[in-house]
Amino acid sequence: MTTPTDQHDHGIDDVRAEVARARSAGRSWAALGPRERRAALLRWKRTLARRTDEFAGLIASETGKPLHDARAEVLVTLVHLNWAARNAHRVLGRRRVPSGVLSVHQRALLAYRPLGVIGVIGPWNYPLYTPMGSIGYALAAGNAVVFKPSELTPGVGVLLARSFGEAVPDHADLLRAVTGPASTGAALAGAYGPAGVDKIAFTGSPGTARKVAAACAATLTPLLAECGGKDAVLVAADADLDAAADAIVWGAMGNAGQTCAGVERVYAVASVHEELCARIVRGARALAPGEAYGPLTLPSQLGVVERHVKQALVDGGRAVLGGPDASVTRTVGPVVLTGVPEDSPAVTEETFGPVVVVNPVRDMDEAVERANASAYSLGAAVFTRSRAAGLAVAGRLDSGAVSVNSVLGFAAIPALPFGGAGESGYGRIHGEEGLRAFAAPHSVTVRRFAPAVDLTSFATPRAKAARAVELGRRLHARF
């Protein structure tokens, strides 16, 4: 069983051994009926719920985030595990699909089978919630998992694996944790030769995703890549500005801005821009850094935040709250910038700090254009009093998920798939797609009776087969 003392640096041999152990546990797990698998996962979920304080305490101590944030993280993690456990059979279980006129004599059956062992590589910003988006869904789909947590949050990964073994002792090795630096993740992805995994689910920065993709390419191991974001909030002239400002401040400053789908850009229609800025500044100024949110978890991120803020000012932007001086320590005060040119790093690159750029736009068309003109496309939000207009704008945004009149509304709804495109990665976690991401479609046909014209037999007279083909062609030409 994995224990917290197992937090040493796992090299390629350790990684291979853990994958082999997980694979062997996975065989009996895959053979279980859906009801038993669901019961085991729900037992694990109840264990996690009962141990919320233990997990939240560890998350808080490893990341520096406040305990109340860590407890909320545990809750949304439970919501996803619960959904994956309860819906796996409905989504992946065998079912009949229409066989069509040409194959009316066949019964067509579709099922989704587990892939085997999934290598999950996780980040530190939500060290429980983010990897569970892969781990919970992969286990529910019948796979085993080897989890490589971030080197900043190894304890959470080890505790998670251990808690599974305690809650589901018959399959204790199904979830294994391997700890260590980048090289441990690289080993799992196959950079030093095959590790034996059947898919990698990676969450982290786009730069690392490229390295993981290159490692996976050598063995044609499929990859799901959940990378960063530069999410925009679009504010219409008729928006409830108090609600918009409240959500923007939370979305931008919460977790010290270290959220992949956090708010980093705001495009407000010119008529309400100034008023919105004033409300955002009021809300952000009222926050006590260190209490409302913690320090930057990764010390080197301070340099990125400072560079973005300083360059924004050099490029002609204005700080309406905070500024370069806000980031003299790792607990950065909120920074609200405006009038920042669209090619400044504070607009184009992921800042991952409590910094938000609030730029004015002519109208919602320009807001959509600017929101979409990003290398990232993970999440976005729209504020307007008109639900129809909100939905129309949402439909024009390229991001993988959009919230109308809230921020990050999709993150706690497990039925909604999550993921992006471009620098935000590819593939989806959560929801039905998130279950199918860890399963292979398996198609079966069962011949029910001999067809009038059997096109798969040399015994069928050629002229008869040709007449049937011609009839089919004519039907398709007409309808």
* Distance from the Cα of residue 136 to its chain's centroid: 12
Q: Which of 326, 338, 325, 357 has its CA nearest to residue 251?
A: 357
Quote the tokens at residue 217.
């390419």
Q: Provide the minimum distance between the beta carbon of 379 and ligand NAD in the complex, in angstroms, as a whole number.
A: 9
Question: 64 vs 185, which CB is nearer to ligand NAD?
Answer: 185
- Which of 18, 62, 173, 226 is close enough to bind ligand NAD by CB under 6 A? 226
306 catalytically annotated: no
* Helix (H) / strand (E) containing 402: strand 401-404
Asked if 411 touches ligand NAD (CB under 6 A), the answer is no
Asked if 203 touches ligand NAD (CB under 6 A), the answer is yes
Looking at 97-105, 135-143, 178-186, 317-325, which segment touches ligand NAD (CB under 6 A)?
Answer: 178-186
Listed in sequence order, the residues at least 6 apart from 70 whose beta carbon sits closer than 8 Å to its beta carbon are 55, 56, 57, 59, 60, 63
Asked if 413 touches ligand NAD (CB under 6 A), the answer is no
Residue 301 in contact with residue 152, Cβ under 8 Å?
Answer: no
- Which of 92, 121, 319, 332 is close enough to bind ligand NAD by CB under 6 A? 121
Asked if 212 touches ligand NAD (CB under 6 A), the answer is yes
b/e map of 405-420 (b: 16 or more CB within 10 Å)?
Answer: bbbbbbbebbebbbbb
Question: 167 vs 200, which CB is nearer to ligand NAD?
Answer: 200
Question: 190 vs 390, which CB is nearer to ligand NAD?
Answer: 190
Looking at 107-115, 208-216, 239-247, 305-313, which segment touches ligand NAD (CB under 6 A)?
Answer: 208-216
433 catalytically annotated: no
* Helix (H) / strand (E) containing 23: helix 12-31
Closest residue to ligand NAD: CB criterion:
185
Question: 41 vs 225, which CB is nearer to ligand NAD?
Answer: 225
Question: 37 vs 80, which CB is nearer to ligand NAD?
Answer: 80
- Taking residues 331 to 370 in sequence order and writing x for each that binds ligand NAD by CB under 6 A, - otherwise, the string is -------------------x--------------------
Residue 331 in contact with residue 289, Cβ under 8 Å?
Answer: yes
Dist. CA 9–CA 180, nearest whole Å? 4
* Helix (H) / strand (E) containing 348: helix 345-348
Dist. CA 55–CA 80, nearest whole Å? 16
Looking at 48-56, 183-191, 248-256, 338-346, which segment touches ligand NAD (CB under 6 A)?
Answer: 183-191
Quote the tokens at residue 392.
């129309």
* Helix (H) / strand (E) containing 282: helix 270-285
Asked if 330 touches ligand NAD (CB under 6 A), the answer is no
Dist. CA 64–CA 59, nearest whole Å? 8
**DSSP letter, residue 241:** H
Task: Spot the catalytic one: 73, 226, 264, 423.
Answer: 226
Residues that bind ligand NAD (CB under 6 A): 121-126, 130, 148, 150-151, 182, 185-186, 189, 203-205, 208, 211-212, 226-229, 260, 298, 350, 378
Q: Which residues are catalytic?
A: 226, 260
